[in-house]
Amino acid sequence: MADNKPAILSVYDKEIELPILKPTVGPEVLDIRKLYGQGDVFTYDPGFTSTASCDSEITFIDGDKGELWYRGYPIEQLAEKSHYLEVCYLLLYGELPDAGQLEDFENRVTRHTMVHEQMNNFFRGFRRDAHPMATMVGVVGAMSAFYHDSTDISDPWQREVAAIRLIAKLPTIAAMAYKYSIGQPFVYPRNNLDYASNFLHMCFAVPAEDYKVDPALAKAMDRIFTLHADHEQNASTSTVRLAGSSGANPFACIAAGIACLWGPAHGGANQAALEMLQEIGSVDRIPEYIKRAKDKEDPFRLMGFGHRVYKNFDPRAKVMKESADEVLDLLGIENNETLKVAKELEKIALEDDYFVSKKLYPNVDFYSGIILSAMGFPTAMFTPIFALSRTVGWISQWKEMLSDPQNKIGRPRQLYVGSGKRDYVDVAKR
């Protein structure tokens, strides 16, 4: 990949050649792996705003154009024409499956949707009012205490089984976390239901009566899963890669990813965005919140707005916005005040120089909560749904990292600005 025109970096009295690596598409990168050895200096990039941590074939984002591809396929096409388990196959194996491969993959996932019966006991250890993300971090981490036959990361077959188990069982665990939080009995997965229908059934069915999944809602749910499936080297994916680089087992790595995703600056923003829209409450209160978002002295930010990479519309937000109209219409919900506030807030913000100059647009979290709330999910379930959707992305990136011959433990350095060396002083003399 290196081009034959290296960059020349002049450090003190040295000229250091840094190869320039060319991508399939997107920015070229300076290969600085030899910099410390040759120049005795580190690079400095808190938040990794200008740093590529790896090379990857899985997802490409063009932040300026607002484009997102999974294995080269634009997200708009996948959201419209594909479905989540086919997207899982694509992300895991790199190509769209033929009919036989797809059927085999769907059967394998379907037959791993149940969890070990003893895992039910874990939930009883949590308070009923625990946030479902807290429960999920705990239970997913505990999977390594049950599925010992898929924790040896040096065995490709065990890596494969762990990937299938995680994709299959995360919806079951998320649904169990929800049921536990509302004091209802767990509902087992059903092999005659598709992935999204199974999740809705496990969340909303009760033993006392039959529950029929609305196919249109299942399709909307499936599309939400697809839109969240992967997103290049975001914070939680980087967490999974860093955890995996130490050789930690896949269940521990995904639990680490769930913990990172929970933050309101990341996947927790979908819950925070809906709560913000509900707090605004009506269109006439929008200017007050726009003012607060622009006030440097006020920590308030427009949740669901802005993105490290997208400096244009997040293509997922566009699809989500269209889906919000469809789902509310399907559910016969008219004049949804929250959706009205969201659309007006987006319009006002995108005409305001502060947001335009900083290139702040709605992101994937801005509209998703409106759909999930209309479907009947409490806000606390929004990020668990993001987590179960993103599990395939995390595990695909984890598998790619482990099969990379360059793979080594991730260990960043620092700019040390603490005290110089000094001697210990006895407490009597301090």
- Closer residue to ligand SDX (CB): 18 or 372: 372
State yes or no: residue 362 binds ligand SDX (CB under 6 A): no
Give the 3-state secondary structure of residue 210. Answer: coil
Long-range CB contacts (within 8 A, 24+) of 402-406: 402/153, 402/159, 402/244, 404/54, 404/55
Catalytic residue among 131, 230, 307, 314: 307
Q: Which of 363, 368, 373, 396 binds ligand SDX (CB under 6 A)?
A: 363
Query: First vs last Cα of the chain: how many Å apart?
Result: 58
Which distant-in-sequence residues (6+ apart) come within 8 Å of 161 by Cβ?
149, 150
CB of 230 to ligand SDX, least distance (A): 8
State yes or no: residue 2 binds ligand SDX (CB under 6 A): no
Q: Which of 280, 364, 370, 372 binds ligand SDX (CB under 6 A)?
A: 364
What are the Cα distances from residue 402, in Å, to 88, 93, 366? 18, 14, 34
Q: Which of 304, 315, 369, 384 binds ligand SDX (CB under 6 A)?
A: 304
Binders of ligand SDX among residues 195 to 234 (CB under 6 A) are 231, 234
- Closer residue to ligand SDX (CB): 151 or 238: 238
Task: Assess whether 131 carries a catalytic annotation.
Answer: no
State yes or no: residue 75 binds ligand SDX (CB under 6 A): no
Task: Assess whether 222 carries a catalytic annotation.
Answer: no
Which distant-in-sequence residues (6+ apart) come within 8 Å of 160 by Cβ?
none
State yes or no: residue 360 binds ligand SDX (CB under 6 A): yes
Binders of ligand SDX among residues 247 to 266 (CB under 6 A) are 265-266
State yes or no: residue 307 binds ligand SDX (CB under 6 A): yes
State yes or no: residue 269 binds ligand SDX (CB under 6 A): yes
Cα(175)–Cα(182) distance, integer angstroms: 11
What are the Cα distances from residue 260, in Å, to 170, 255, 267, 268, 386? 16, 9, 8, 9, 12
Dihedral angle at the C-alpha atoms of 314, 319, 321, 322, nearest 10 degrees?
150
Catalytic residue among 131, 365, 404, 426: 365
Binding site residues, ligand SDX, CB under 6 A: 231, 234, 265-267, 269, 293, 301-309, 358, 360, 363-365
Which residues participate in catalysis according to the annotation? 307, 365
